[in-house]
Amino acid sequence: MFNTEIYKKQMAARSPALVALETIVMVTITVTALLGNLMVCWAVYRSKKLRTVPNLYIIALAIFDILMAILCMPLSVEVFITANFAHGENAVQFQGFFSFFLSLASLQTMTAMAINRFYRIVKPVLFRKYLQSLQSTVLSLVMIVVLATFGACLPLIFGFAKYTFHYGKVFSYIDYSTPLAAYIYTIFLKICYITIPTLITLFCYYRIFATVKNHTKELMANQRNNSGSTGGGLSMNVEDVNITKALFATVLGFVACWTPVAVVDMIDTFSNHALNNPREVYLFYIYMGYGSSSINPFIYGILNRSFKREFIKIFRLHFSKRFSNETELSNSANKVAPMLLLFVRPANANDFVRNNSDANK
């Protein structure tokens, strides 16, 4: 059990400037996560080249981040403003479950992406046989949802924990009934849902880059021995490698954001929340945790050429439509103004004299 009333009092005692600053940061993260991942989905919808089976993992990851921005972040934004969670127990359980579920689902999706890239580049025969189909990809995503749901529901199913709003972390955090339950479940979670998937992901990318490096050496040796060799299939390999680098960057970004979160959670759990970390530590905690949902669109835009081109097209389309609408309004105004002047007869001196004489009568 933990008590975060001290952090609630600290939030209530903030200056207006500090309230505004903390809220602006949280709102920026929320809006960026929502709009950025919506743009990822729109780019895939618009571009036939991006509508591939492996990109279903990117779409799934974007949807998880969109749901985090819609279902979980607004409640935290409100608390940043008011220093009070005023929506009752059901809302606490709702936010806590979906924050936990979506975080687990995102990590498992990245592991599935790494396995998919591993077989595509290192074991292409097996990839074409088992993993290239739409059915296998959809099945893996269903398994991810089931596993993440099980992990997030397990404490509630067996009744050894519930979600309680943590005013330091500014979101609904899992609160265990006993220290022993906290130790056992935390160890289970860290091993099965974090450590093993992370090690699998790192192993896959290590083998991928090692294979690419060896392939490059062989290709250069062949070109030296036979200047007429063009290295058939090289362009496809280069594209695969660029996509793999972008996906690996998303993993690094996710790990960079969630490592501080995991460390703070471990300290809180094994100290039985007795340390009372400074509120600034928890601010960094929540910004990094939620911020992981907003970084992927930037990574795709920088490292993935196909997404970058589609993002540029989307921006150009938006601004060209806006400019076109403004031009049409301006042209309409220019056409209407001369027509209005036809209905206005300018006054002359005789009219002025006649009006005055009528008034004197």
How far apart are alpha carbons 245 and 234 in whole angstroms? 16
Residue 231, pLDDT above cutoff 50:
no
High-pLDDT (> 70) share of the chain, %:
85
4-222+237-323 has CATH 1.10.10.10 classification: no
User: Is-contact 183 198, C-beta < 8 A?
Assistant: no
pLDDT of residue 234: 41
Confidence category of residue 251, pLDDT binned at 50, 70, 90:
very high
Give the SS3 label for residue 165: strand
Confidence category of residue 335, pLDDT binned at 50, 70, 90:
low
How far apart are alpha carbons 34 and 12 in whole angstroms? 28
Residue 170, pLDDT above cutoff 80:
yes
Over residues 248-262, the mean pLDDT reads 94
Report the chain's terminal Cα–Cα distance, integer Å: 94
Confidence category of residue 235, pLDDT binned at 50, 70, 90:
very low
Over residues 281-298, the mean pLDDT reads 96
Residue 23, pLDDT above cutoff 50:
yes
pLDDT of residue 36: 96
CA torsion through residues 260, 266, 268, 274, sign: negative
Residue 340, pLDDT above cutoff 80:
no
Over residues 252-274, the mean pLDDT reads 91
pLDDT of residue 333: 53
Confidence category of residue 2, pLDDT binned at 50, 70, 90:
confident
User: Is-contact 165 133, C-beta < 8 A?
Assistant: no
Residue 232, pLDDT above cutoff 50:
no
Cα 220–chain centre separation = 39
Confidence category of residue 260, pLDDT binned at 50, 70, 90:
very high
- Dihedral angle at the C-alpha atoms of 275, 276, 277, 280, nearest 10 degrees? -170
Highest mean pLDDT among 51-55, 165-169, 269-273: 165-169
Residue 127, pLDDT above cutoff 50:
yes
pLDDT of residue 286: 97
Residue 331, pLDDT above cutoff 70:
no
Residue 283, pLDDT above cutoff 90:
yes
Amino acid identity of residue 34, one-letter, is L
pLDDT of residue 233: 44
- Dihedral angle at the C-alpha atoms of 63, 69, 72, 78, nearest 10 degrees? -170
Q: What is the pLDDT of residues 57-104, one digit of tens each?
A: 999 999 999 999 999 999 999 999 999 999 999 999 999 999 999 999
Residue 226, pLDDT above cutoff 80:
no
- Dihedral angle at the C-alpha atoms of 94, 184, 261, 303, nearest 10 degrees? -90
Residue 341, pLDDT above cutoff 70:
no
Confidence category of residue 4, pLDDT binned at 50, 70, 90:
confident
CA torsion through residues 176, 85, 291, 4, sign: negative
Q: What separation in angstroms does the CA of 361 have from each of 35, 179, 354, 356?
A: 71, 101, 11, 9
How far apart are alpha carbons 18 and 83 in whole angstroms? 12
Residue in the block written with tokens 């300018």 = 346
